[in-house]
Amino acid sequence: MKSKITRLQLLFSIAIFLLLVFSCKGKESSSNLENVTKVEDLAWDGDVNSIPLSMRELNPVASVDAKKGGAFKIYSHQYPKSLNYYLEQFSTTAEIFRMMFEPLAMYHPISLQVLPRLASSWEISKDKTTYVFKLDKNAKWSDGKPITAYDVLFTFETLMNPNHNTPVFRIGLSRFETPKVIDDYTIEFKAKEVHWNNFEEVATQLFILPKHDMETKDFNKINDFFPVVSGPYKLAEAKAGRYVKMRRRGDYWARAYLFNKGRYNFDEIYFKVYNEEPIALQAMMKGDIDLFPVYKAATWINEAKGEKIDNYWIVKQKIFNQKPIGFQGWAMNTRKEPFNDVRVRKAIAHLVNRKEMISKLAYNEYEQTDSYYPDFYLGENKSKNPNEPVEFDVEKARVLLKEAGYKPNSKGILEKDGKELHIIVLERDKGTEKYFTTFMETAKEVGVKVTIENTDLAGWSSRMDDFNFMLTWCAWGGGILKDPEPMWHSKYANQKMQHNYPGLALPEVDALIEKQKTIFNVEERHAIVKKIDQIIYKQHPYVLLWHLPSTRLLYWNKFGTPKMPLGKYSGESFATDYWWYDPDKKASLDDGVNNKKSLPPVPKEVYWKD
């Protein structure tokens, strides 16, 4: 299941987060300007001398052998209700949006050092409350107009407007005064309070919008039409429920920056939507999809096989890197009965046989999740997890439900105060029904009635915005550093369109969240997050399920890739930025297919090495 992502998950092609010192301006080093102005598309009319020094260096995860051209078709699980990331925070939406719009700064793909993007430089006050950004004067919108400080101010004010459906973004931005425009290319942000994430909030997480194009429009209705962009791609076409087509911009303002050499290679990128993975796999095998991130174990084990894979015409590969791991589970709405009782929530967790599901339904592809921050406890750290696993135990579930006041009626269904214990599962993916079916059979034995209500992604998202559900499957992406506020602070438990889906409100957690805000030492701050995790875990707001320590990919063997197919911290989105269409490999592929012969073997597993 594709993940929904939180505000602190980096929306670049590499899913990296922050590990930097706030006093830095962005390390600058000298480098050779050789080839910096060689552009494949059009003559570049920018100022070479004004290119930030760090952008005059080669990108260490890109390949100098990359070529421009060709199309790239990616499997996308479901069509989002909006392609405007500020209105819809799903991973596919974020991927599309960050191809069109850019932040002021970005992260180095290996060191995580902060690098220029729309801003060429910045200064941070000693008290870490004031940030002054100088915009790159080469930066232009796709219609040729310069990107200015007024665009930055407009973006801030747009997101802070209470009439706009952007409350998630107001969490972090509310810590700032309205930015001050110093001149056309200089803007100052002043924070009302010290917070370890203040710099990132405005530098790397604020994707700048064009004031002159959007200021007269209803922002809540800007969903799939973006005529003015700044990024390397523009939206060429969007067919709801079918595909989104992106087209590379030959006039992208930063195309001559040496750091971008080997990036943004495909002329066209398609996000092809298939609501059912088996149908998508058929499209993949026919060549209608080029890259297929495999989200389901059954597909990987049972379906992704045959002549095309055996002969390496299609590469089947697991990639292990340092990508942050989120969590997935069944969110239970604590605002309503019966889930306002922790005993009921824990009882439901005891009725979920995770080990059997992982073994029989997921082919032992996953590891059981027993933390809301599972990447704290990977590998040798697994034994350090203080959270006691909630194992499958029907009798413990019976006891807990009895303690909560539920007794069987004449039909054998548990009830309390004359009301049957009836759980309605809100589901958007038919592929997960087999897991719910297993749970439903066990629940029925205990006397719990369970039914499934199906909807599509747009309907599910709208319902979740209003917290209109009882129990539903959620998958959340992860970040290298953890900010527990958006998901767990009580002030967002009843604020619509926020990410505290279960509605958990715990004063002890609130206090710890407030405490960690002013701690700049990563280890100290994460120690507090671990305490928060332990407290939340005992409240069972989710039935935690499992996680995958790798990225599973199928892709046609006609593309060039860097030495590592995915970056140090990235998932499949890395491919859209760094892979390229290789005519020689395509010729070899065609020869192999036409003559029924195998291509040279490709490693089935790849591990990142520093």
- pLDDT one-digit tens code per residue, 396-415: 999 999 999 999 999 999 99
Output the CA torsion sign for 159, 160, 162, 166. positive
Q: Provide the CB-side half-sphere exposure for 160 (13 A, CA).
A: 16
- The band of 480, judged by pLDDT with boundaries at 50, 70 and 90, is confident
Mean pLDDT computed over every residue of the chain: 91
pLDDT of residue 519 exceeding 90: yes
CB 343 within 8 A of CB 400: yes
- How much of the chain exceeds pLDDT 70, in percent? 93
- The band of 43, judged by pLDDT with boundaries at 50, 70 and 90, is low
pLDDT score, position 433: 86
Of the candidates 482, 489, 519, the one whose C-alpha atom is nearest the C-alpha of residue 174 is 489
- The contacts of residue 25 (CB under 8 Å, 6+ apart) are 121, 122, 123, 124
pLDDT score, position 253: 98
Q: Pick the more confident residue, 4 or 513.
A: 513
Say how many C-beta atoms besides its own lie within 10 A of residue 47's C-beta. Answer: 10
CATH 3.10.105.10 assigned to 327-547: yes
Q: Pick the more confident residue, 10 or 350.
A: 350
pLDDT of residue 306 exceeding 90: yes
If you write DSSP's letter for every residue of 327-346 in order, what string do you get?
A: EEEEEE-TTSTTTTSHHHHH
pLDDT of residue 510 exceeding 50: yes
pLDDT of residue 34 exceeding 70: no
Output the CA torsion sign for 16, 161, 93, 70. negative
pLDDT (tens digit per residue) in 184-243? 999 999 999 999 999 999 999 999 999 999 999 999 999 999 999 999 999 999 999 999
CB 169 within 8 A of CB 499: no
pLDDT of residue 11 exceeding 60: no
- The band of 61, judged by pLDDT with boundaries at 50, 70 and 90, is very high
Average pLDDT over residues 30-41: 38
Q: Pick the more confident residue, 136 or 80.
A: 136
pLDDT of residue 40 exceeding 50: no
Average pLDDT over residues 508-525: 96
Average pLDDT over residues 470-484: 90
pLDDT of residue 425 exceeding 90: yes
Instruction: Specify which of 315-319, 376-380, 455-459, 570-574 reaches the highest per-range mean pLDDT.
Output: 315-319
Average pLDDT over residues 248-270: 97
Cα 373 to Cα 221, 360, 377, 418, 503, distances in angstroms: 35, 25, 8, 39, 18
pLDDT of residue 477 exceeding 90: no
Say how many C-beta atoms besides its own lie within 10 A of residue 411's C-beta. Answer: 9
pLDDT score, position 45: 81
- The contacts of residue 77 (CB under 8 Å, 6+ apart) are 1, 2, 92, 273, 274, 275, 277, 280, 295, 429
pLDDT (tens digit per residue) in 83-138? 999 999 888 899 999 999 999 999 999 998 999 999 999 999 999 999 999 999 99
Distance CA 114, CA 112 (A): 6
pLDDT of residue 24 exceeding 70: no
pLDDT of residue 33 exceeding 60: no
Average pLDDT over residues 37-53: 71
